[in-house]
Amino acid sequence: MDDIQHIPDLMQAIGAQAKTAAKKLATATTVQKNKALMEAATALRASIPAIMEANTKDIEYGKAKNLSAAMIDRLLLNEDRIEAIAMGLEAIANLPDPVGDIMASWDRPNGLHISRVRVPLGVIGVIYESRPNVTADAGALCLKAGNAVILRGGSESFHSSTRIHGCLVEGLQKAGLPADAIQLVPTRDRAAVGEMLTMTGVIDIIVPRGGRSLVERVQTESRVPVFAHLEGICHVYVDEAADIEKAVAINLNAKMRRTGICGSSETLLVDVKAAAMLPAILEPLFSAGCEIRGDIQVQAADNRVKSATDTDWDTEYLDAILSVKMVDGVDDAITHIAAHSSGHTESIITENTETAEKFLNLVDSAIVMHNASTQFADGGEFGMGAEIGIATGRIHARGPVGLEQLTSFKYQVRGNGQTRP
């Protein structure tokens, strides 16, 4: 099937099949959807040798393409990782089904009873790079929320994703659900991505999962609404009234727990009135191998601090590097964040509730925190069970995109003969 079809025709056909499947899925029961996920997990476990064989082909292809060691590692599947994917499917099966939830209901003076009820969003397009596990994770989340999904994986994971997709389809079939509920674009041709981005009226939402260049391309070109974040330039602000122990622990965790995730902090802002806390905050960061790039005042505090340039305040390092700046209180911190944040996650460290509330109200990011690590910016940590990503847009979904964010709603109006005067 690879690279032989006329891509627009292929994508039109996939889109039409997805729409048909979405109509059937809208009335699928929770039991059916969960059965599909559990059966897919079983199929995955039974297919470990076949998946690993497919993965070997991808690894060879990736090495021939001179992928970095980090990218090869993302691509690699082994028994443990396949087991983790299967457990991920079971975890999604165990999440509550959002479809049918009554989000709000009220009565009108004329006796009409109005309810806003969750329904599936429709058809979701997921465009991702070479992590084959996304095939299962994204497919399962979309299915659980009652949506049909069109998956377009990275070319390097083509064989692995195809094999994993086969297991998902097996699950769908065993549950009596349409096989087209989860489709994988069966070509490596990049033109398929361009087609997906223009399939308005067919695809309701596009979710890009991958690096900056992928997300940027999708955000720039897509005619379909997109749930995504381009980057996570997250800030921690240490206020004059900060508890020093919290400031030390949270800054170390926000930066160094995992430096490569979007919720890791990239800039530390310190109130000049809290300058005395700076050495205690920086020391464990240095010990953990973090490079510090500071403004002149921060450089003066420790000679290991390198000089920050203007671009540092707008840089997502995704690495053991932190930019540090002194600011004149919470208002100055809020102004800096407004100018440099990517609207993802910011945290204030203070024991002053009034200052904290000001920060929580005035900082316009998807997630604003008080006395907590920015690394909690995650659907699982929020109690949503799982997420398909984090959105920094303002429409429909913002912050972690979990099952609820993958739904729409409709109004049900129950009357007893009412006519409008």
Which residues contact a second copy (rule: CB under 8 A)? Answer: 23, 26-27, 106, 108, 112, 114, 119, 121-122, 204-205, 223, 225, 243, 245-246, 249-250, 252-254, 257, 338, 356, 360-362, 364-373, 375-376, 381-383, 394-396, 398-399, 408-420
Q: Which residues contact 332 (CB under 8 A, 6 or more apart)?
A: none
Token representation of residue 62: 């990736």
User: With the CA atoms of 201, 202, 205 and 210 taken in that order, what torsion angle do they form, in degrees rounded to the nearest 10?
Assistant: -130
- The answer to whether the CB of 218 falls within 8 A of the CB of 127 is yes
Give the nearest distance from C-beta 347 to a second copy in angstroms: 8
Give the nearest distance from C-beta 132 to a second copy in angstroms: 26
Q: Which residues contact 49 (CB under 8 A, 6 or more apart)?
A: none
Of 342, 20, 11, whose CA–CA distance to 180 is shortest?
A: 20
**Residue corresponding to tokens 């009652």:** 146
**Phi-psi bin for 289: left (phi > 0), alpha (psi -120 to 50), beta?**
left
What is the 8-class DSSP label of residue 131?
A: -
DSSP string, 217-272: HHHHH-SS-B---S---EEEEE-TT--HHHHHHHHHHHHHS-TTSTTSEEEEEEEG
Give the nearest distance from C-beta 248 to a second copy in angstroms: 10
What is the 8-class DSSP label of residue 305?
A: P
CA atoms of 348 and 201, how far apart (whole Å): 42
Phi first, then psi: what are they for 24, rounded to 5°? Answer: -70, -40
Element housing 116 (H / E): strand 113-120
Element housing 359 (H / E): helix 353-362
Closer to a second copy by Cβ: residue 78 or 361? 361
Closer to a second copy by Cβ: residue 101 or 302? 101
Q: Which residues contact 101 (CB under 8 A, 6 or more apart)?
A: 117, 118, 404
DSSP string, 322-347: EEEEEESHHHHHHHHHHHH--SSEEE
